[in-house]
Structure 1
Amino acid sequence: MTTRVLYDFADNVATLTLNRPDRMNALTPTLFKEWQAATDRALDDGARAIVLTGAGKAFSTGADLQGGDGPEDALGRDLSNPLETYYNPMIRRLADLPVPVVSAINGPAVGAGMGFALSADIAVMARSAYLMLAFVRIGLVPDAGSTWLVAKAVGRAKALELALLGDEIPAEEGLRLGLVNRVVDDEDVLPTAQALAKRLAQGPSQALGMIRKQVANALDADFDAVLADEAANQAKAGATEDFMEAVMAFREKRPPAFKGR
């Protein structure tokens, strides 16, 4: 049986690779089940950062409209069912992870694939890759969190333009709009993402986990709620071994050696 999500673990970084290159890594229920299992494995293995990428020439072109690998992958008439059963739980899982996520956008990230690519905390994009909210081209609406992710990044007017026209967004334009963080040569996209993930994995993991959720909460909260969230998280961060290590390292004039505790 073909593994639909490849798993690699090194330097406390788990790299998860969507692996349907013959179908441009189009998404199916089978793939989502393996993706969930691979994410569980990463946390069980003690991963302190996760890299998400695609095999072959694409990151992911979104839902597999041809039905996937078997009867369980076939699309029904009610498209809310796969969203509620697979897509939304996966996008929420990524948002709720206690460790940072870096996406290596090695090729086209289209439709739901764009939503998943942009769900990472840091997105590294290959120079030849592109993003596309292609839903309107097949009579559908954005999903996989892409409405929220894009609107928060670029604002109402530009988000409507991208969603209503469904045009390709080249890598450099994605960078200019603030949709991605880095654009690099194609051969450098995965090494760059893994290097960033390794750097994050060497950091204070508990604080990093709180930071990613704190920023997400701040996008929809008022000022007082943000202040309260900061105070609550600071209390937790201040009680970690990593904070104490940082204080000792400062006093001893040396780099801190964070353990993620």
Structure 2
Amino acid sequence: MNIRTHKGNNLYDILKKTVMSGGLALVLFVFVMVYGCRSENDIPDMYIDQRSETLMNGENVIRKQYLDAVEICRSMGKKISGLPEDEVKKLGVSRYQLAITGNKVATRKESWGFRMTGHYHHPGECRFALVYSGDLTVKVPGKTVVYDLDEKKVTKEEQGIPEAFMLPFRPLSETPGAGQEEQQGISGMKRSEGEMYGQPTVTWTRPAGNTEVLWSGGRQWGFSEFPSDSTFAVPGSMVLEKVQKKDHFTIRVKTHRFTVGEPVDQVPFSIPHRPDIHP
């Protein structure tokens, strides 16, 4: 529910006049209607699951390094203890998940690489192991907690202002690009409209070939469809796909699932023994 504020007729003035006239019950009714209806409120549950890779000449950089290392060991006649195929597919991949509900924003970031132990530890043998890293960041009104998924411990905790939780979700102008900040940096870019996972999108293509696909159906919850500096989806900018070229490297982001208005599975976004951040 939106409360419009006009000079001499804002919510405070209305409540003040009502109290002075003895209408305490009406005051309580108005309070419940205004703040109760805003509860978890006008923001639908949202979930997105994305993957990112860094490529060189079309090949995953980390995966190619692993395959090159295996080939070098093989050419030297060494015994090879390599990674199983399912782990090789994970190499050089970053997985990013974002979950948004009316009272919680959580991001889960995970990535996979490899390490090799050589002659000094295992003479005549090359051993490879998968290396995992990840963190989970959970933000609720008044608190942000960061949890290391590998070491299974909280690494950071910050207190904040509960009322600030909703700031990123303030509605944008109904007219895209009406704000000057949205117009910055789009000169020379090609714009096209489309659809992904049943949701409207806008694709931006730069002269150099870099592309970015953003959700265009969330302006009422603060999501802009204009180009973003973010690599992944974040509050205010739901990046769905991105191809960013720099020198000989290309960063490619793809979305594997995107839902709006469907219940979000909170298991991947739960920190053990912390019920205070799982409302």
Output the TM-score relative to the length of structure 1.
0.22
The structure that is strand-richer by fraction is 2
Output the TM-score relative to the length of structure 2.
0.21
